[in-house]
Structure 1
Amino acid sequence: MNMRISAGEFTERSLQIIRDLKHLEGPMLPILHAIQAEFGYVPEEVKPIIASELNLSRAEVHGVVTFYHDFREHPAGRHVLKLCHAEACQSMGSDRIADRVRELFGIDFHQTTLDGAVTLEPVYCLGLCACAPAAMLDGEVYGRVDEHCLDEIITEVRR
């Protein structure tokens, strides 16, 4: 993913993704996932292009992007740390873990550290309810997250 592309190249790459996928039934989600995979986020500039190609309003595209927590409107950090906030994780102390992470990194959910190292995101179930509280770092899941596990995760992202 090369973020240093010209506006024309950006538009052309976006159009190619959209045109490759718009034949699918319910194409918006696959298109948004592909755009995010290509650029690391769903840029504001691509929403009108998607809307035009799918004959939708910009508001409809924006609504989908903002409704689903996995879509980003800004580039993420080098690492993405997701902390589960589902009921099982909350009952096992996920709020305490989240408070500690926010304190250590000096950011809140949906923010990225100033050095671009970590983006912190809430997630509402990782499917590890029996191993709560749960977290995910760059796609790798962690169960029974405690202070020791949290220290390992933080060490990993600071490398």
Structure 2
Amino acid sequence: MEKIIREALSGHVAETGGLIIGLRHVQERCQFVPSDTVRIAAELFNISQAEVRGVISFYADFRDKKPGQNHIRLCVAEACQSVGARAIEEDLLNRFAVRMGETDASDFVTIEPVYCLGLCSCAPAAEVNGELIARVDAQRIVDEVGS
């Protein structure tokens, strides 16, 4: 794992915004940001571990745990709320027996809130396994994950 983390980070050390780019590459390769990343990034970028933790905790896209087999990000911002996103959220959480921001017991699905997917004009919106879906409803999400 350390080799993967170093490879993902090391090519971005001299770049402007390199830490964020490198952390995104770590997450792409590992599906999350492993705890060893903090130490390795601090060493490579010559900054404190606190600074690295600060960047990871500031950006909601970084995860510290591997998501479930299916990753759902449901927009819960105002535009989506105004057209039923909270009802979709409640339906999904009940169907998959999971709480928002968590992975179900079988690691089948992770459901996370997001506060804008850029689809406000065709809300509600979700991202399922990296694919954006406009005018979504709970059944469409369930169909997408194959449950």
Q: Same fold (TM over 0.5)?
A: yes
1:60 equivalenced with 2:85 (yes/no): no
1:157 equivalenced with 2:145 (yes/no): yes
Give the aligned residue type for 2:99: D
* Cα distance in 1 for residues equivalent to 2:122 and 2:84: 12
1:22 equivalenced with 2:13 (yes/no): yes
Aligned partner of residue 11 in structure 2, secondary structure = helix
- Provide structure 2 residue ranges, at least 5 long, that are not aligned to the other structure: none
* Cα distance in 2 for residues equivalent to 1:142 and 1:156: 10
**Count of residues paired in the alignment:** 147
Match of 2:135 among 139, 144, 150: 144
TM-score, normalised to structure 2, is 0.93
Match of 1:38 among 12, 26, 29: 29
Match of 1:115 among 106, 113, 138: 106
Give the aligned residue type for 1:156: E
Root mean square deviation, CA, Å: 1.4
* Cα distance in 1 for residues equivalent to 2:79 and 2:30: 34
CA shift, 1:137, in A, is 0.5
Aligned partner of residue 83 in structure 1, secondary structure = strand
1:91 equivalenced with 2:82 (yes/no): yes
TM-score, normalised to structure 1, is 0.86
Aligned partner of residue 15 in structure 1, secondary structure = helix
Match of 1:82 among 73, 80, 95: 73
Map 1:94-105 to 2 at 5 A.
Answer: 94-105=85-96
Q: Percent identity of the aligned residues?
A: 38
Residues 117 and 158, structure 1, Cα contact 8 Å, conserved in 2: no
* Cα distance in 1 for residues equivalent to 2:80 and 2:144: 22
